[in-house]
Amino acid sequence: MEIHSVNGNAILKQEVGLSMARSYKRHQMVVCVTALAILFLGFSQKSWGASQDKWKEVVEAGKKEGKVVVSIPASSELRKELEGAFEQRFPGIDLELFPGTASKMLRRISDEFQAGVRYFDIHIGGAGSMITGFVGGRIVDTIEPNLVLPEVKEPKNWWGGYMGIDKEKRFTYTFSAFLVSNFWHNTKSASADELRSYDDLLNPKWKGKIGWYDPRQPGAGAQAWEFLWKHKGEDYLKRLVTQDLQLSRNPRVLAESLAREKLAVTIGMNYYGFRSFVEAGMPLKPLPIFKEGTYGTAGSGILAIIKNHPHPNATKVFVNWLLSKEGQEVWTKELSQPTRRWDVDTQWTAKFGSIAAKDNISLEQWNKVEQISEDNEAAAKAATKSARSLLPD
């Protein structure tokens, strides 16, 4: 993948063919080695690779606690699949999941924490709320003590090794990493050939036809605004705002509007917001990456453990399962947000707007384009301030 520079900033351009081929071969080799290891050990509980006595103690203690409570992204499909797979693997531990937007779950968990209520064990979500709310609010515990299984702890199993978005790399765990193509279009209303540059969005033809997942709140809409603020400038955004943008904090509203051709394009929406419409055969697709490039994100794939969580052993069981090959296959399949695990296939997610970092770019390139680390916080705050000043109440 070639790196281009625009106004002194490194931006990725979608020239990934050779990189994808090399990565695919490497991925195949890892899969083969993993398969041989499984055959050698016999795929039973031993394949988890943990000290059997230690792991068994954790699981039994988790069963005595009876449940683990987790905040997850607002996806009913993800909730269903996580519950089914986890509870089948660990009968006796109920997985209590609360799907919701990042802002909603942050507000609830933070309010409960300040009131002395300890109900939630884990939050899984995006970078914005994670840094400003969970880490910034000091309501999270360190991750490392909860990593038990060697297949989870071993850095070589993960593209980039251990990744966290907080400065200390102790309070978050980033298990997804991808380049985004989160400008979606209705193919009946807007041809991909008409939208090859961000400047094409300024065409009067699209006035009133562009929807945006409100960039004034944490989420993919804010990340898209931040990228444009950095690389196209505030003057560009001022012009874009005059296109009568249709803002919403409800992804379902935007998805329905795009499906019904009330909108031609949406910004900041991920595949799981469109999933039911795509599966119903509606002509909704992500636009190819614009010629000016895109940015790197973890989507909703960042994990944090709430401080003084009530079910410590069940929390360890869930965390290690989620970060295992099995758990990451479920996550990637349901959200189309690719994992960093080498032994999970992520080539297919590109067609849903999520281009796996491990299949396409180097770690050095990733560090130039990611928008999720705490080091990026100042730019994120400035971009949010810009959105709040330019967009109507």
Q: Which residue has the higher pLDDT, 15 or 171?
A: 171
Which token pair is 225? 């605004």
- Per-residue pLDDT, 332: 97
Class of domain 18-177+298-362: alpha beta
Residue pLDDT, tens place only, 116-129 = 999 999 999 999 89
Residue 309 in this model has a pLDDT that exceeds 50:
yes
Residue pLDDT, tens place only, 181-235 = 989 999 999 999 999 999 999 999 999 999 999 999 988 999 999 999 999 999 9
Q: Which residue has the higher pLDDT, 182 or 243?
A: 243
Q: For the ranges 50-54, 96-100, 234-238, 302-306, which has the lowest average pLDDT?
A: 50-54
Asked if domains 18-177+298-362 and 182-293 share a fold, the reply is yes
Measured in whole angstroms, the distance separating CA 259 from the mean position of its chain's CA atoms is 23
CATH architecture of the domain with range 182-293? 3-Layer(aba) Sandwich (3.40)
Give this prediction's pTM: 0.85
Q: Which residues are 94's β-sheet partners?
A: 67
- Per-residue pLDDT, 49: 53
Residue pLDDT, tens place only, 3-58 = 343 443 444 554 444 344 444 444 444 444 444 344 333 333 444 455 778 999 99
Mean pLDDT, to the nearest integer, of 292-312? 97
42 DSSP assignment: -
Angle of the 234-241 helix axis to the 220-231 helix axis, nearest 10: 120
Q: Which residue has the higher pLDDT, 42 or 313?
A: 313
Mean pLDDT, to the nearest integer, of 251-258? 96
Q: What is the DSSP string of 102-124?
A: HHHHHHHHHHHHHTT-----EEE
Q: How far apart are the first and last CA of the chain?
A: 40
Q: For the ranges 36-40, 61-65, 233-237, 266-270, which has the lowest average pLDDT?
A: 36-40
Give me the residue spans of the domains in the chain.
18-177+298-362, 182-293
CB 176 within 8 A of CB 298: yes
Which residue in 387, 365, 30, 375 sits closest to 179, CA to CA? 365
Mean pLDDT, to the nearest integer, of 290-300? 96
